[in-house]
Amino acid sequence: MRALLGIFLTAGLIFLAGQPAFADKRVALVIGNSSYRNVAKLNNPANDAAAVAAMLKSAGFDAVESKLDLTVGELRKTLRDFGNRSRDADVAVIYYAGHGIELDGTNYLIPVDATLETDTDVLDEALSLDRVLVAVEPAKQLRLVILDACRDNPFTKSMKRTIASRAIGRGLAKVEPSSPNTMIAFAAKAGSTASDGYGKNSPFAAALVNYLAKPGLDLRKAFGFVRDDVLKATNNAQEPFVYGSLGGNDVTLVPAPPAAVAAPVDQDATMRRDYEFADRVGTKPVWDAFIERYPSGFFTALAKAQRDKLAAEAARIDATNKAKAAQEEQARLAAEGARAAEQVKAAEQAKAAEKARLAAEAAKKAEDAKVAEAERVKAAAQAKAAEKEAERVKAAAAVNAAREAKLAAELKIREEKAAAEQKAKEEKLAALTPPADKSDQQTAVDLPRSLQVELRRVGCNTGAVDGNWNAASQRSLDLFSKYAGVKLDVRVASVDALDLVKSNTARVCPLICEHGFKADGERCTRITCRPGYEVGDDNICEKIEVKKPTAKREEPKRERSERAKAATPAEKPQASGQIICGSGGCRPVQKGCRIVQGSGLHGVTTLNSGQREECH
């Protein structure tokens, strides 16, 4: 029996593997008419059609056909071909951008070759909205028509009316679809016109691209968002409108992605799969094999009920056959004139057979009731498992919401801390500004000191901060003017100079370091060379040269000294990488020299600021 069950299970797997994977089929037709031959060209319909087609393709539609600048014949053929494609589709969408017209309450789409000299030409040279609805009608679940055709129509200005009472409306007329699950969207509500827009796309098309293909978003809500965006973009001059009705369930163009939740572990998955395969075969040997392999369990009880049901059915059929045979035998004996005793005996047998048949049918009904009860218990168990899974998903959503709230609170604390730090910095900077209520004499006295403080902050003043505007302070302001790229009067400490120095929040003058040191941010650090190198005169690590003794021919002492004197070039001053400033301005420190503090000596250049250039 195990081998028999294995054969049936393998056959069931092969059968299921050969079945196709059915899914919703979605098709779309996008039309954009821009290049009209007899009126002015529209700028945006071609761009709008391209944007909508790209949106539908990215949404995973099975087929998206895009057509531009169709004549009346091409428009008829395109709608006919699309109607054939939508016969086996679940969702069919048609988007049209271009001119449209309303005549006697009927809406028409205008091809690019239309002339419309009279009102009756509309019937011959344009296609009605009803013809468009016929193309999407075969779709099984959703039929959607989007018309961006409510633009101000130039044909009505030159069109002649054959009947004075014939109505030619402004925009398109209100429609009510006769087929269920059909929705018609206008770029502007009935009786009003839509804007072609001043950008690459019309306001209506731009809003459609943003919302229509959002996964899991219901179409009615998506068109509500489109309406809000268009009203905002047109300053409430254009209001899109939707006609038709859908059911109570959400209807989306793009299904919502499945929730990323862990699938519950089903310990009876193998048993359930084997039960389903055995149920498809539905014979007593298969149920016997299943019960033998799984002696106990929920599905074992179901299998026994199914087996008993089959046995009751077989008993009923057997009893029915016996009753029928007894009746036929009774009729045969009566026809042949059999003895009364034999007829009585045959009648009793027929009665007994009928009684057995009734008992078999009653037994079968009892078994059917048992199977129905078992199925009810199974359905209840599955419903309970689904309820537990929903509670687990709800709990996970609550945890995620709490985590997001915590992150938002932390972000708010960080923002408040940053605002407090910024406020403290502003108060610190404000403290450097003299109070507004001081007298002019006191402000004039404190101005040199304040300017000296600010010049030291930007790295241009190395002298004392004593409130005396001397030559050192003037050189510091001149050095600031040079590196800041401005021109100031250095002879006096002015308010303009103070404001200009305060406006620089970072160092302006370069940091000047002694020989053997280099600038590192706002301080000087010693230059460290790797083994075999030393700091040269220009503050750069240079390799230590080791001269090897070489044998030379003895020359007269006087001849050697004259040759060495002639070969020695005149020394030229070279820069060492440092800058020193004096009364005549700033200049680089010569190679072989360095800046030191102190009074002037022999061979030393001394500046008024107390710095001097020492050369060896």
Domain boundary among 200, 230, 245: 245
Q: Could you tell me if 199 and 307 lie in one domain?
A: no
Contact 207, 247 (CB under 8 A): no
Q: Would the pLDDT of 56 be above 80?
A: yes
Any domain includes 384: yes
Compute the distance between CA of residue 24 and CA of residue 254 in angstroms, rounded to an integer.
11
Name, in order, each residue with C-beta under 8 angstroms of 195's C-beta and a sequence gap of 6 or more.
151, 202, 203, 234, 237, 238
- pLDDT band (50, 70, 90) for residue 53: very high
Amino acid identity of 75? Answer: L
- pLDDT band (50, 70, 90) for residue 587: confident
Q: Could you tell me if 63 and 199 lie in one domain?
A: yes
Q: Could you tell me if 38 and 90 lie in one domain?
A: yes
Full residue range of the structural domain in which residue 163 is found:
25-245
Token reading at 69: 């600048």
Name, in order, each residue with C-beta under 8 angstroms of 323's C-beta and a sequence gap of 6 or more.
350, 353, 354, 356, 357
How much is the pLDDT for 549?
Answer: 63
Q: Could you tell me if 235 and 158 lie in one domain?
A: yes
- β-bridge partners, 614: 594, 604
β 517-520/611-615 pair status: unpaired
Q: Could you tell me if 52 and 96 lie in one domain?
A: yes
Token reading at 377: 């218990």
Any domain includes 529: no
- pLDDT band (50, 70, 90) for residue 562: low
| Distance set, CA 341 to CA 47, 290, 344, 347 (Å) | 100, 51, 5, 10
- pLDDT band (50, 70, 90) for residue 523: confident
Q: Count the domains in the chain.
A: 3
Token reading at 200: 């690459």
Q: Would the pLDDT of 87 be above 90?
A: yes
Token reading at 526: 């010693």
How much is the pLDDT for 430?
Answer: 65
Q: Could you tell me if 189 and 113 lie in one domain?
A: yes
Out of 99-113, 206-220, 572-586, pick the least confident. Answer: 572-586
Contact 598, 612 (CB under 8 A): yes
Any domain includes 568: no
Question: End-to-end CA distance of the chain, in Å?
Answer: 111
Contact 177, 133 (CB under 8 A): yes
Compute the distance between CA of residue 594 and CA of residue 614 in angstroms, rounded to an integer.
6
Any domain includes 577: no
Q: Could you tell me if 406 and 444 lie in one domain?
A: no
Name, in order, each residue with C-beta under 8 angstroms of 152's C-beta and a sequence gap of 6 or more.
193
Contact 86, 52 (CB under 8 A): no
Q: Could you tell me if 448 and 402 lie in one domain?
A: no
Q: Which range is most confident: 106-110, 247-251, 540-544?
A: 106-110
CB count within 10 Å of CB 161 equals 13
How much is the pLDDT for 262?
Answer: 47
How much is the pLDDT for 344?
Answer: 85
Q: Could you tell me if 80 and 182 lie in one domain?
A: yes
Higher local confidence (pLDDT), 583 or 142: 142
Q: Could you tell me if 414 and 444 lie in one domain?
A: no
Any domain includes 153: yes
Q: Would the pLDDT of 575 be above 60?
A: no
The residue length of the chain stands at 616
Any domain includes 596: no
Any domain includes 236: yes
How much is the pLDDT for 19?
Answer: 39
Contact 157, 170 (CB under 8 A): no
How much is the pLDDT for 266?
Answer: 59
| Residue 71: CA count within 13 A, CB half-sphere | 4
Average pLDDT over residues 589-594: 76
Domain boundary among 484, 502, 520: 502
How much is the pLDDT for 17?
Answer: 39
Q: Considering Cα of 526, then 532, then 538, then 540, what sign does the dihedral take? A: negative
Backbone angles phi, psi at 533, to 5 degrees: -125, 155
* DSSP label of 118: B
Higher local confidence (pLDDT), 171 or 360: 360
How much is the pLDDT for 88?
Answer: 92
β 91-97/26-32 pair status: parallel
Average pLDDT over residues 434-442: 47
How much is the pLDDT for 93?
Answer: 95
- Report which secondary-structure segment, H or E, holds 476: helix 471-484
Name, in order, each residue with C-beta under 8 angstroms of 220's C-beta and a sequence gap of 6 or more.
242, 246, 251
Q: Would the pLDDT of 524 be above 60?
A: yes
* Per-residue b or e along 310-348, where b marks 16 or more CB atoms closer than 10 Å to that residue's CB: bebbebbeebbebbeebbebbeebeeeeeeeeeeeebee
How much is the pLDDT for 166?
Answer: 64
Q: Which CATH number is 107's domain given?
A: 3.40.50.1460
How much is the pLDDT for 345?
Answer: 86
Q: Would the pLDDT of 552 be above 60?
A: no
Q: Where are the beta strands (DSSP E) in 558-607?
A: 575-582, 585-590, 593-597, 604-606
Q: Would the pLDDT of 148 be above 80?
A: yes
Name, in order, each residue with C-beta under 8 angstroms of 475's C-beta and a sequence gap of 6 or more.
490, 581, 582, 583, 608, 609
Q: Would the pLDDT of 570 be above 80?
A: no
Average pLDDT over residues 166-179: 78
Q: Which range is most confident: 62-66, 346-350, 507-511, 599-603?
A: 62-66
Any domain includes 226: yes
Average pLDDT over residues 480-495: 89
**pLDDT tens string 302-318:** 889 998 998 998 899 98
* DSSP label of 41: P
How much is the pLDDT for 539?
Answer: 78
**pLDDT tens string 374-430:** 888 988 988 988 999 999 999 988 998 988 898 889 888 988 888 888 888 777 766
Q: Would the pLDDT of 605 be above 70?
A: no
How much is the pLDDT for 356?
Answer: 92
Contact 78, 33 (CB under 8 A): no
Amino acid identity of 34? Answer: S
Q: Could you tell me if 88 and 193 lie in one domain?
A: yes
Q: Could you tell me if 192 and 323 lie in one domain?
A: no
| Residue 605: CA count within 13 A, CB half-sphere | 13
With residues binned 3-state (H G I as helix, E B as strand, rest as coil), the percentages for the chain, rounded to 5, are 50, 15, 35
Higher local confidence (pLDDT), 599 or 366: 366
